[in-house]
Copies of this chain bind each other. A is one copy, B any other.
Amino acid sequence: MIELWELGGKHDRRYSLYSWRARMALRHKGLPTTFQPVRLTDKAAIAFSGDTTVPVIRDGDTVVRDSWAIATHLEARYPDRPSLFGGPTGQALARFVNDWVDRTVLASAFPAFAFHALELQDEEDRAHFGSLISRVTGQAPEALAAQQPRHLERLARAVDPARATLKRQPFLAGAAPAYADYALFSVFQWGRIIGAPAVLSGEAALQGWFERLLDLHDGHARATPAAW
């Protein structure tokens, strides 16, 4: 049994974007997992990992933190289970897609969505999370709420390459989903859980892809408590 530590908020919302990459990777490999919610300010809960950020997994005697490191760990340790990458070239290009999500997609998705997660915080976590948002974006949450339309427009432009690709194939990774899909999916699943606008609705290619990922692995991602 693998254990995964991830952020948990009010109403059992598991709103850690990076942990969703690890969740989907674990389900892709078909590995039984228990999920441990951690409050944002409860760093003691994951001190054993040597760092203060989730996701962290414990797989037997091995502790791995960071979503990309978890994915490559799972691929190397469980090579006979369904591949997350489809070979070395696929893994290298998934690394690029992961960087594209973190650098280009989140550059607009984080300021557009993050303040919605404030509602899910306990009183003590709320101030901490507000400061985190301000530190990352340079803006107070109230200012981000006012600028949301502009950031949503930027986000729509940022995902334009995925829009083009998904008109021609059902998943970024081709006929079947793989880690590159989970990297992009994590952003919109995070938005869905915290109650950000459903920006993909009305976009046939992207919305169809998102629904397919929600259905995957017995509807694992659809079943989690979410705002919509």
What is the interface of chain A, defined by CB distance below 8 A to chain B? 83, 85-97, 99-100, 102-104, 158, 160-162, 164-165, 168-169, 171-175, 178, 180
Among A83, A104, A178, the one with the most B-chain Cβ atoms within 10 Å of its Cβ is A104
**Closest 10 interchain pairs by CB?**
A86-B89, A92-B174, A89-B90, A93-B93, A100-B161, A99-B161, A99-B164, A103-B160, A96-B165, A90-B90
Q: Looking across the interface, which residue of chain B has its beta carbon closest to that of A170?
A: B92
Shortest C-beta distance, A159 to chain B (Å), equals 10
Among A90, A91, A95, A103, the one with the most B-chain Cβ atoms within 10 Å of its Cβ is A90
Shortest C-beta distance, A123 to chain B (Å), equals 36
Among A92, A104, A169, the one with the most B-chain Cβ atoms within 10 Å of its Cβ is A92
Taking a contact as CB atoms under 8 Å apart, the answer to whether A92 and B161 are in contact is no
> What is the oligomeric copy number?
2
- With beta carbons under 8 angstroms apart, the residue of B91, B102, B172 that contacts A92 is B172
Taking a contact as CB atoms under 8 Å apart, the answer to whether A104 and B174 are in contact is no
Among A93, A100, A165, A172, the one with the most B-chain Cβ atoms within 10 Å of its Cβ is A93
- With beta carbons under 8 angstroms apart, the residue of B93, B104, B158 that contacts A90 is B93
With A99-B161, A99-B164, A165-B99 already in contact, the answer to whether A173 and B104 are too (CB < 8 A) is no
Taking a contact as CB atoms under 8 Å apart, the answer to whether B85 and A161 are in contact is no
Taking a contact as CB atoms under 8 Å apart, the answer to whether B95 and A90 are in contact is no
With A86-B87, A87-B86 already in contact, the answer to whether A171 and B92 are too (CB < 8 A) is yes
Task: Name the B residues within 8 Å of A100 (CB-CB).
Answer: 100, 161
Taking a contact as CB atoms under 8 Å apart, the answer to whether A90 and B86 are in contact is yes
Q: A86-B88, A92-B165, A93-B93 are in contact. List 17 more A-B contacts (CB 8 A).
A: A85-B89, A86-B90, A87-B87, A89-B173, A90-B90, A92-B169, A92-B172, A92-B173, A95-B168, A96-B162, A96-B180, A99-B165, A102-B164, A103-B160, A103-B161, A103-B164, A104-B104
How many Å lie between the Cα of A108 and that of B104 in the bound state?
14
Task: Name the B residues within 8 Å of A160 (CB-CB).
Answer: 103-104
Shortest C-beta distance, A194 to chain B (Å), equals 24
Shortest C-beta distance, A115 to chain B (Å), equals 23
Taking a contact as CB atoms under 8 Å apart, the answer to whether A89 and B174 are in contact is yes
